[in-house]
Amino acid sequence: MENRLTQEQLGKIVGEVERLSQRRQNELDRKQMEQILRELSLPPELLDEAMIQIQRREALEVQQRQTRNLMIGIVTCLAIAVGGIAFWSQQNQQALARVSVQQDRITLTQDSGGNLTTVSRPAEVVYKVTLKDAPVGKKLNLSCDWIALGDQVLKQNRYQTKEITTPVWNTQCKNTIAASAPAGTWKVRMFLGDRPLSDASFEVK
């Protein structure tokens, strides 16, 4: 079967043949190299060892170039990863900084809908807080300090919210005030991480 070539294929073949021919002309055969070494008063018997050394150096250069490119790639990936983590962390911190309290009130477990200022012992007190600008899709780490007798923290609540689905989010913390608990002014303070969000005071009788 006769092989037919297009003009484009023929042009490529001609160019490749010319390149190979030029390369062959530039290459020296072994006898020519030995002759050159004799003319330079150099021992021809060292030709093989010299060629091996050259091949080793060329292989080493290729390996070093590959290693350098690999290191550049690794450093670039690390820089991108660090930059991404820093950007994500900054975005997360900004989202948390926007969280504030829209409304808060003291009530009992059986919520009447009001805001209590006085509680009679024993009682289960609930601190209900409505957050605004809550980060949708995130969970918040909240805590409450129940303070009495001046600045003494008598109880702490630490919890994580469910995944937030709306920017306005209701949350709460509870404290059972026993009959033996101290009377007087109590305060409850809510924190987002280490940042105070809100507080409320009430009297215990």
| Together in a domain, 52 and 105 | no
* 188 within a domain of the structure (yes/no): yes
Low-confidence ranges of the chain (pLDDT < 50): 1
Structural domain that includes position 59: 7-95
In a domain, 58, yes or no: yes
d(CA 46, CA 167): 81
- Whichever domain contains 194, its CATH number is 2.60.40.1930
Among 74, 95, 116, identify where a domain stops: 95
Instruction: Please indicate, yes or no, whether residues 76 and 166 belong to a single structural domain of this protein.
Output: no
One domain for residues 90 and 156:
no
Are residues 74 and 158 both part of a single domain?
A: no
For 145-175, what is each residue's pLDDT tens digit?
999 988 899 999 999 999 999 999 999 999 9
Same domain, 80 and 121: no
In a domain, 2, yes or no: no
pLDDT of residue 157: 96
* 109 and 197 assigned to the same domain: yes
Q: How many CB atoms lie within 10 A of CB 133?
A: 15
Report CA-CA distances (Å) from 69 to 12, 59, 64, 72: 32, 15, 9, 5
49 and 105 both lie in a single domain? no
Question: Pick from 114, 124, 133: which is nearest to 197 by CA?
Answer: 133
Distance of alpha carbon 135 from alpha carbon 26, whole angstroms: 71
Domain boundary among 72, 95, 118: 95
Q: Do 81 and 138 sit in the same domain of this protein?
A: no
pLDDT for the residue numbered 1: 42
Residues 26 and 77 in one domain: yes
Q: Count up the domains in the chain and report the number.
A: 2
The answer to whether position 172 is within a domain reads yes
What SS3 string covers 147-199?
Answer: EECCCEEEEEEEEECCCCCCCCEEEEEEEEECCCCCCEEEEEEEEECCEEEEE
Structural domain includes residue 1 = no
**Alpha carbons 142 and 196: distance in angstroms, whole number:** 10
25 and 38 assigned to the same domain: yes
Assess whether 114 and 198 both reside in one domain. yes
Which of 95, 130, 147 lies at the terminal end of a domain, its last residue?
Answer: 95
Closest to 205 measured CA to CA, from 187, 182, 188: 182
Task: Report if residue 119 sits inside a domain.
Answer: yes
Quick check: is 198 in a domain? yes
Sign of CA dihedral 131, 137, 138, 143: positive
Q: Are residues 41 and 105 in the same domain?
A: no
